[in-house]
Amino acid sequence: MRKSIFAVAMAACGLFATSAIAADYPERDVTLIVQSSPGGGSDIIARTIARIVNEGKLSSTQMLVENKPGGGGAIAYNYVAQRKGDPYVMGTIATSFFVAPLMGQSPAKVEDFQPIAVIAGDPFILVVEAKSGIATLDDIKAKKVLRIGNTGPVTDPALLAVSLGNELGIEVRPVPFNGDGEVTTALLGGHIDLQFGNASEVMAQIEAGRLNPIAVTSPERLASLPDVPTFKELGSDIELMLYRGVVMPKDMPAEAVAFWEDVMKKVSESDIWKTQYVERNNSVPLYWDADEFARRVPEISKLYADYLTTIQK
Amino acid sequence: MEIFSDLFFGLSVATSSPMLLATLLGVLLGLAIGVLPAMGPPAALAILLPIVVSFEPTVAVAGLAGVYYGAMYGGAVTSILLGIPGESAAMMTTLDGYPMAKNGEAGRALGIATFASFVGGFISILLFTAIAAPFAEFALRFGPIEMTALMVMTLIFSTSLGGEDRAKGFAALGLGLWLGTVGLDIVSGSPRFNFGTFELLEGIEFTVIAIGMYGVGEILASVNETAPKVARARYTLRALLPRISDMYKTWKDLIVGSVIGFVVGVLPGAGATAATIFSYSFSKKISRHPENFGKGAPEGIASPESANNSASYAAMIPLFTLGIPGSGTTAIMLGGLLMLGLQPGPLLFEQNPDFIWPVIGTFYTGNLMLVVLTILLTPILASLVFIPAAYLFPIVLGIVVYGVFSVNYSFFDLGMAMGFGLLGYLFRKFSYPSVPVLLGLVLGPILEQNVRRSLIMSNGDIGIFASSTISVVFLLLSASLLLLPMFKWAKARLKKAGV
Amino acid sequence: MRVLTAEKLFTSLFAAFAVFLLWRSYDYGILSSTITGPGFFPAIAGTLILVSTGTSLFSKVKGGESKILDEDSAGNADGPGTRVEVSRVAVLIGVTALFIVLAPYVGMIALTPFYVFACFLALAPDFRLARLGVGGGTAITFTLLAWAIFDKALGVPMPRGFF
């Protein structure tokens, strides 16, 4: 919906900024565009990052957070992608960053962005209702038919459900709901058998003994659940996390990339990030710089592309 | 009687000055947001979240919750005065509130709405205090199968709202059902009827359609009643004041609304709007004068208003007892709790009694504040009906423009609202009822998704709907609702033939 | 009489739309393997509309023009007629469309007083100076309030245009 004249004007500003970029970058406030509404997962991350940057004076100017929800993230991604060369715009990403262009829902492709850094990964925990009598992957295998809740066919939990079914050779029936809350409710009520839950959302249920964890999708065990094995340990190939990071538009001057890469590294190492985000949400702390992130983007994108071809058959 | 000491503790904290202030600010903002068309509690909470995260958790949540239930009071105001639902759960209130205001009884309508909101809220808070935890466990038994049956029953109930021309009513219902399918299909993941745009991928915002068809449609249909100096209602003091007699005349509907609101409000994915539809239809069914509904019946305001307030508290039950958000609004509240460093879960009542009971305490104080505030404001608000349409309509159009834009910051939505305004105008001209469109839009997606979930779970076996007691009861009730009129009709025919 | 013809046209268009829905639903897939597909529910909606509008059209034609719906010429004799009404509706829609097109360039706040004033004129075209003054005052007051509430208090990001 952004009008072209507006875009051209902004692009002109961007070009100007590119040529003028110097030691005193950034000269203006930087806007971090969030693809979810306030209160959503990416929003919490964005606001935490902005707080660390502003309170710790990691940048000479302020970092502002702006929500552009809608279109399954497409509206925000397109907004960022269109501001080519503008070093004062960046955006948060989620699974939709990779999936929306593959589904033909967003004109902005993953190649239209300059990756900056990934600073955490949110793992998924396979959980069952406590009284279901399921305790291990073998119990699941013995069931033959399983109903797994997810939040739509092109989400991480759905992808994980299909991979699990293929590996164990059982029939999975992926039941889509409107949100993780509804999935957990259905699981607690015994209407479905399994859920690949986001750690932050199912941890309270695990602590209360309402849900039992079977395995986690992170590369290593979670600090908060030291007794729960990873899928890899159980001899499975499943490994997937929701990568939390930031991207900028393409054609970014190298100075800007280096500057924000460095800021994000400091963010990921800060105490506030570790206590307010990583610990609180049971995330996995990690840091990918711009090069590593750029190298991983096609890999992750291919993972989803392969999955999409399997479910569309 | 541990519950009384807990509640007493909660109330004593809730009446401390910072808590009272937070509650007051919350309910005031909620009232204001409820009054503004299009902007509902989710939008208000989203705006408030970044501000309150720096507060102490109890104070912050008192404010956030205040916005939520305050909006339920405020939503009735524009519904009654302008015929525009202030937020989606106030949609049913327009049906009788607006005609009553046009008859020159705006104060009376607002009075009924305020009293109904208070009673619905109060009954719900009492139930919340007494049975929140066991009731949340009961609600867990509602899975896709049970929800399907409940929605079938609600839909059959609500066909009585179709208006006089049955055929046109069903055509409008079909349109609503279709509108509910626009956007990404959550089962297959493919887009439906988005006509190549990504703005339509997440479907059409309910408020955009409601404001278009009701608010804009009504304005367009009355462009010829704009002669200057002609007030929309005659100046009388009576028009400004509530009537005490309405309070006890509608007692049945207040109880119906409160109970239905509480039960439906707690269910996952159902929501306050579905509760108001159910409650309004139920009140119409049990009324001795169903023909007055839609023409300014007091019961038609009391029933949905008590339901939406009741539902707003019930919707917070899964959040506080299980740590699971049951609606979009409570999902944002959960986000707020997480930002505040609180992880609500099944242990919240046990581990954080000094958080949860003061918050429940503020429900009581907040509800009292709201009833006092709204009663004081009623004469001022009601005097809006004295403003001639020639001055009022341009301002209302301006409010619609800003309100609709502010939902998603989108001009696309604004264009859609005007499109639906035109459709609403044509519907009025050609005597198609607008209500069934919105009924279909609210109930359709819940029904469709749950039918398909159930069938996925059973791999296509329709027998699954008979596998749950709750579902069988609802389906039998639905069948009897359908068969009863036919039976009556057949009996009347037989009698006629016999004589 | 004229309204009745227009109503028939509207109902027919509605029915045609239902046919479009049915066609699209078939495309989306009524059934996918053993369960209802993405097109199942839209097909139900389409069928409902088609049957209902069909019934409506049929009964209209069969019952003749028993019900004349042109209330404006009948009930409201001294008010302006249908032609005025339609033109006012068209102007209001047009003005709003213009607002939507121009707002991203000119700025939403800057455009608002003109929008409200235009609506004011469209609803009651009366060009006496006093009325114009009141209209202008209303427009400016509303704009200031909208700015205070939506921009300042609620922080809605609105296009600012040239300002």
**Of B112-121, B215-224, B482-491, where does mean pLDDT reach its minimum?**
B482-491
Q: Which of B105 and B258 is assigned the larger pLDDT?
A: B258
Out of B199, B336, B449, closest to residue A70 by CB: B199
Whether C96 and C137 share a structural domain: yes
3-state secondary structure chain B: CHHHHHHHHHHHHHCCHHHHHHHHHHHHHHHHHHHCCCCCHHHHHHHHHHHHCCCCHHHHHHHHHHHHHHHHHHHHHHHHHCCCCCCHHHHHHHHHHHHHHHCCCHHHHHHHHHHHHHHHHHHHHHHHHHHHHHHHHHHCCCCHHHHHHHHHHHHHHHHHHCCCCHHHHHHHHHHHHHHCCCEECCCCCCEECCCCCCCCCCCCCHHHHHHHHHHHHHHHHCCCCCCCCCCCCCCCCHHHCCCCHHHHHCHHHHHHHHHHHHHHHHCCCCHHHHHHHHHHHHHHHHCCCHHHCCCCCHHHHHHHHHHHHHHHHHCCHHHHHHCCCCCHHHHHHHHHHHHCCCCCCCCHHHHCHHHHHHHHHHHHHHHHHHHHHHHHHHHHHHHHHHCCHHHHHHHHHHHHHHHHHHHHCCHHHHHHHHHHHHHHHHHHHCCCCCHHHHHHHHHHHHHHHHHHHHHHHHCCCHHHHHCCHHHHHHHHHHHHHHHHHHHHHHHHHHHHHHC
| Proportion of chain C above pLDDT 90, given as a percent | 34
Tell me the pLDDT tens digit for each residue of A221-237: 998 899 999 999 998 88
Position A226 scores a pLDDT of 92
Q: C touches which chains (3+ CB pairs under 8 A)?
A: A, B
Mean pLDDT across A184-212: 90
Specify whether the CB–CB gap between B321 and B133 falls below 8 A: yes
Indicate the burial class of A221 (C-beta count within 10 angstroms; 0-12, 13-18, 19 or more).
middle
Distance (Å) from the alpha carbon of C124 to chain A's nearest alpha carbon: 33
Angle at CA B43, nearest 5°, toward B41 and B44?
60
Residue to substitute from C58, C76, C96, interface B, most B β-carbons within 10 A: C96
Residue C38 near chain A (CB below 8 Å): no
Tell me which CATH code domain A123-216 carries.
3.40.190.10
pTM score of the predicted model? 0.85
Tell me the pLDDT tens digit for each residue of B257-303: 999 999 999 887 778 889 999 999 999 988 988 889 988 899 999 99
Whether C102 and C149 share a structural domain: yes
Structure tokens at A31: 């806007």
Give B449's contacts in chain A (Cβ within 8 Å).
176, 178
Mean pLDDT across B379-391: 81
Q: Under an 8 A CB cutoff, do C105 and A2 touch?
A: no
Q: Using CA coordinates, name the residue in chain C closest to A65.
A: C157
Q: Using CA coordinates, name the residue in chain C closest to B225.
A: C79
Residue C104 near chain A (CB below 8 Å): yes
Output phi, psi for B191, to 5 deg. -75, 145
Answer yes or no: is pLDDT of B368 > 90. Answer: yes
Mean pLDDT across C30-48: 85
Residues A4-121+241-311, CATH architecture: 3-Layer(aba) Sandwich (3.40)
**Of B16-20, B334-338, C36-40, where does mean pLDDT reach its minimum?**
B334-338
| Proportion of chain A above pLDDT 90, given as a percent | 38
Give the C-alpha distances (Å, rounded to integers) separating B300 from B104, B257, B291, B370: 17, 10, 11, 21
Q: Under an 8 A CB cutoff, do B410 and A47 touch?
A: no
Tell me the pLDDT tens digit for each residue of B398-451: 988 998 888 778 899 999 999 999 999 999 888 899 889 999 998 999 899 999
Residue B446 near chain A (CB below 8 Å): no
**What are the extents of the domains in chain B?**
2-467
Residue C157 near chain A (CB below 8 Å): yes
Whether C88 and C148 share a structural domain: yes
Mean pLDDT across B380-384: 82
> Is A215 in a helix, a strand, or coil?
strand
Q: How confident is the model at residue C155 (pLDDT cuts 50, 70, 90)?
A: confident
Give B346's contacts in chain A (Cβ within 8 Å).
204-205, 208, 210
The average confidence (pLDDT) of chain B is 86
A-C contacts (CB, under 8 Å): 9
Q: How confident is the model at residue A212 (pLDDT cuts 50, 70, 90)?
A: very high
Whether C44 and C92 share a structural domain: no
Tell me the pLDDT tens digit for each residue of B334-348: 878 877 777 788 888
Answer yes or no: is pLDDT of B242 > 90. Answer: no
Kind and range of the H or E element at A284?
strand A284-288
Nearest to A193 by CA among A183, A201, A203, A202: A183
Residue B189 near chain A (CB below 8 Å): yes
Residue B470 near chain A (CB below 8 Å): no
| Proportion of chain B above pLDDT 90, given as a percent | 30
Tell me the pLDDT tens digit for each residue of B296-323: 899 999 999 999 999 999 999 988 888 8
Distance (Å) from the alpha carbon of A261 to chain C's nearest alpha carbon: 28
Distance (Å) from the alpha carbon of B187 to chain A's nearest alpha carbon: 6
Position A21 scores a pLDDT of 56
Give the C-alpha distances (Å, rounded to integers) separating B223 from B66, B229, B249, C67: 38, 15, 36, 24
Tell me the pLDDT tens digit for each residue of C40-99: 899 999 999 999 999 888 876 554 444 444 444 444 444 567 888 888 999 999 999 999
- Most confident of the following: A170-179, A263-272, B73-82, B490-499: A263-272
The answer as to whether C161 is a domain residue is no
Q: Which domain holds residue C106?
A: 82-153
Mean pLDDT across B383-406: 85
Q: Under an 8 A CB cutoff, do C36 and B455 touch?
A: yes
Q: Which of B254 and B236 is assigned the larger pLDDT?
A: B254
Q: Under an 8 A CB cutoff, do B456 and A280 touch?
A: no
Mean pLDDT across C23-33: 83
Give C3's contacts in chain B (Cβ within 8 Å).
429-430
Kind and range of the H or E element at A286?
strand A284-288
Q: Under an 8 A CB cutoff, do A3 and C157 touch?
A: no
The answer as to whether C123 is a domain residue is yes
Residue C42 near chain B (CB below 8 Å): yes
Give C131's contacts in chain B (Cβ within 8 Å).
228
Position B119 scores a pLDDT of 94
Give A5's contacts in chain C (Cβ within 8 Å).
105
**What are the extents of the domains in chain A?**
4-121+241-311, 123-216
Residue A313 near chain C (CB below 8 Å): no
Q: How confident is the model at residue B244 (pLDDT cuts 50, 70, 90)?
A: confident
Residue C64 near chain A (CB below 8 Å): no
Q: Under an 8 A CB cutoff, do A1 and B341 touch?
A: no
Whether C65 and C87 share a structural domain: no
Q: How confident is the model at residue C2 (pLDDT cuts 50, 70, 90)?
A: low
**Which residues, numbered 41 to 80 in chain A, qualify as contacts with chain C under a Cβ-Cβ cut-off of 8 Å?**
66
Nearest to B147 by CA among C114, A189, C35: A189
Residue C126 near chain B (CB below 8 Å): yes
Residue to substitute from B165, B181, B465, interface C, most C β-carbons within 10 A: B181
Tell me the pLDDT tens digit for each residue of B160-215: 787 778 888 999 999 999 999 998 888 877 788 888 787 787 788 888 898 899 88
Asked which of C15, C37, C69 is the last residue of a domain, the reply is C69
Asked which of C44, C69, C94 is the last residue of a domain, the reply is C69
Give how many domains chain C has, as a whole number: 2
The answer as to whether C133 is a domain residue is yes
Q: Under an 8 A CB cutoff, do B410 and A200 touch?
A: no
ipTM for the complex shown: 0.87
Position B234 scores a pLDDT of 61
Position A22 scores a pLDDT of 56
Answer yes or no: is pLDDT of A118 > 90. Answer: yes
Mean pLDDT across B476-483: 88
Asked which of C41, C69, C97 is the last residue of a domain, the reply is C69
Residue C76 near chain B (CB below 8 Å): yes
Mean pLDDT across B58-80: 88
Residue B202 near chain A (CB below 8 Å): yes
Residue B352 near chain A (CB below 8 Å): no
Residue C105 near chain A (CB below 8 Å): yes
A-B contacts (CB, under 8 Å): 154
**Of A309-313, B481-485, C29-33, where does mean pLDDT reach its minimum?**
A309-313
